[in-house]
Structure formats: C-alpha cells, structure tokens
Amino acid sequence: MTDDRLPVKRTAKLYIGGKFPRSESGRVVEVRGADGSLLAQASKASRKDLREAVVAARAAQTSWAGATAYNRGQVLYRVAELLEGRRAQFEAELGDAGAPDPAREVGAAVDRWVWYAGWSDKLSQVLGGANPVAGPYFNFSIPEPTGVVGVVAPDDPPLLGLVSRLAPAIVSGNSVVVIASERAPLPAVSLGEVLATADVPGGVVNLLTGSPEELVPWLAGHMDVNAIDLTGCPGDLAKEAEAAAAENVKRVHRAPDADPFDPRSQSPYEITALMELKTVWHPAGA
C-alpha cells in the first residue's frame, strides 16, 4: 500500500513573551536536513522582533528574579522532565541536522538542565554571606541577577550548546533573549514549546531564529540589555558585538573553549558570570 498523503511540513515560529508569533516581516527561511531535504520553514526574525523580545524580557525579569530560589529550581527541573519525555522528537531533529550522536546529545542536555536547576537555592550560600570588617558594622554580600541577558547560541551542538548557555543564565533570575543556531534552528524551536508548557513565565526566555549577522549587532547595542553571552558568535561578528556592547558598558561573556559534552564544561562560574554582587553596610547594634 502506498502512502499518498500530502506531507505536512513544519512552520516554525518565534517564541516571544510566552507566545509563538510569526516574524513581523513575514520572512521565512528553509530549514534543510543534512541530506538536503526540506524539513521546515522557520521564521526569520527582524530587528523589530528583537526589540519586542527585549521588551518582553524586561517585563518578565523582575517577577522571575523575585520568585523563590526553590521555585526557580522546580521550574528548571520541570523543563528537564519535559525534555526527557520528548526525547524521540529531539533525537529525530538532531539526526536530521546531521548530529553524530543525537541520543547522547539529548541525554547530556537533560542532565545539564538538572545540574543547573540544583544550583538555584545554593547560589546565595556559596556566593553571599557576612564579610569580616574592621569597625562597628555588619557587611553582607548578596548575589543578584544582572537583568536582561542576550545569548548567541552555538551552531554545534545545537541543542546542548543552547542549553549550556540558557540554563545558567535564567537559574539566577535573569530573563533572556536568545538568537538560536542558524544552521539547525528546529531544536531551539522545540525547546520553546517545552518552555511554554513547563511553568516558565512568559517572557523569561525569548527565542529568535534567523540571521545572527542581522540580529547580533542590534542585540549587543540595545540599551535595555544588561549583558550578552557571545559564546556562539563567530570572530568578526563577535568583535562588532563587543564594540556595540561598550556603548552602555554591557557585560560581555564568552564560555571557555571546551568539549560541551565534558561534565567539567558545566560550572557555577557560568552562572556567576551573569550575576552581580550587592554589598550592604549596616551599623552594629542599630
């Protein structure tokens, strides 16, 4: 028996403010597999889409940072649960994109979510505390999120690379605008669907697909973005982004060059790279 059904190709949308809009420009790009076959049509985000994503991230950041650390850990763990439940879909998408070992990558991505989720309620104890000072004062250091963070996700590996940049950024209370892998955007789109059903408040994570050359300079130069992770940004574009980020003294981070599958590549320093320490003085006995 022959299958004469019309194939239903995926139309992948953006993920902004907890919703799945098409690009305001109406542009799409063809997503093709390693064998050249058409897999989907993905939205090609514009600068206006990026601005709307930053607005959504800013609106969501205060309440996300104000949630209890235990609750943020629960939410991140729920993301890992749903990733585990959709392993077959993610493995198929990574296989279509030419990933050498999709099952290993999905497993590593789930494990990384769980690892960073566990840090949520430990950051204050590890980073903060009372400082010894010479004088009749109390002196406390308190870790706080930086605010709105831009993330340029690596092209390879597309899922694990994205998770390795996204999880440490949001666990502390930051909100994020992500420019997904241009070569293999579908895992990022599917991750957006997971986030939408995993109790992550709308706007905490915003995922854009499209051209990094078009979007990165505007993300780096946006005055309401407080930090940017350029780990997935190629050399010349990264230099342009660093120059744009200097306009508002934006914190710029790039993860060390290491095998993303190596457990040593996950580190609490990837969390603290996108945090600030607030120090408070108070007179003793007052």
Mean pLDDT, residues 173-197? 96
pLDDT in tens, 60-110: 999 999 999 999 999 999 999 999 999 999 999 999 999 999 999 999 999
Residue 190 Rama label (left phi>0; alpha psi -120 to 50; beta):
alpha
Q: In whole numbers, what is the pLDDT of the chain averaged over residues?
A: 93
R_g over Cα of the chain: 20
CA 136 to each of CA 66, 141, 282, 286: distance values in angstroms, whole numbers, following the listed order: 31, 17, 9, 10
Q: How far, CA to CA in Å, does 226 sit from each of 13, 126, 147, 166, 217?
A: 26, 23, 6, 15, 14
Q: Has residue 2 got a pLDDT over 70?
A: no
pLDDT 10s digits, 34-56: 888 899 999 999 999 999 999 99
Q: Is the pTM of this model over 0.85?
A: yes
Delimit the domains of the chain by residue range: 10-283
122-136, 144-158, 183-197: segment of lowest average pLDDT: 122-136
pLDDT for 1 beyond 70: no
Determine whether domain 10-283 maps to CATH 3.90.1300.10: no
CA 281 to chain centre: 34
